[in-house]
Amino acid sequence: MTTEQATISLVGNQRHIRRAPLVSRATFLAWLKVATCETGRSWRMVGPIYSGALGILNSNWLAYAPRSFPRNASLATPMQQVYVASIINRGFAVPDQYGCSGGW
């Protein structure tokens, strides 16, 4: 399973690869609010139960993250963390942070 789409173009003798984002800008911005409330956007946060800026349950990360992703959310990029959170949360809206202040 690929997690990104790549567009390859040739300019002269050089190949240029442009990768499409894993999630849309709007989706990323919505989840950024969650990250602000959960951990203050601490993308590298490591915990015994939850990790990453979105506070993803470590066992859920292992269950839902593509095999090409790091083994823990704290080692993943912000885009990868949002991608996995979107998979876990599929079918539901981005969680409301119940009046969390400071993020927006």
What CATH number is associated with residue 61? 1.10.530.10
Each residue's pLDDT tens digit, 1-21: 334 444 444 555 665 555 667
Q: Given pLDDT bands bounded at 50, 70 and 90, which one contains residue 100?
A: confident
Whether 53 maps to a domain, the answer reads yes
Give the residue carrying structure tokens 């609010």.
33
On whether residue 1 sits in a domain, the answer given is: no
Give per-residue pLDDT as tens, 56-75: 999 999 999 999 999 999 99
**pLDDT score, position 103:** 45
Q: Which domain holds residue 70?
A: 6-11+22-88
Whether 39 is covered by a domain: the verdict is yes
Smallest CA-to-CA distance from 66 within 83, 79, 43, 89 is with 83
The count of other CB atoms within 10 Å of the CB of residue 90 is 8
Number of domains in the chain: 1
Domain assignment of residue 57, yes or no: yes
In a domain, 99, yes or no: no
φ, ψ (nearest 5 deg) of residue 22: -70, -35
* Amino acid in the structure at residue 34: V
Phi/psi class of residue 73: alpha, beta or left (left: φ > 0; alpha: ψ in -120 to 50)?
alpha
Q: Is the pLDDT of residue 54 over 90?
A: yes
- Answer yes or no: is 98 within a domain: no
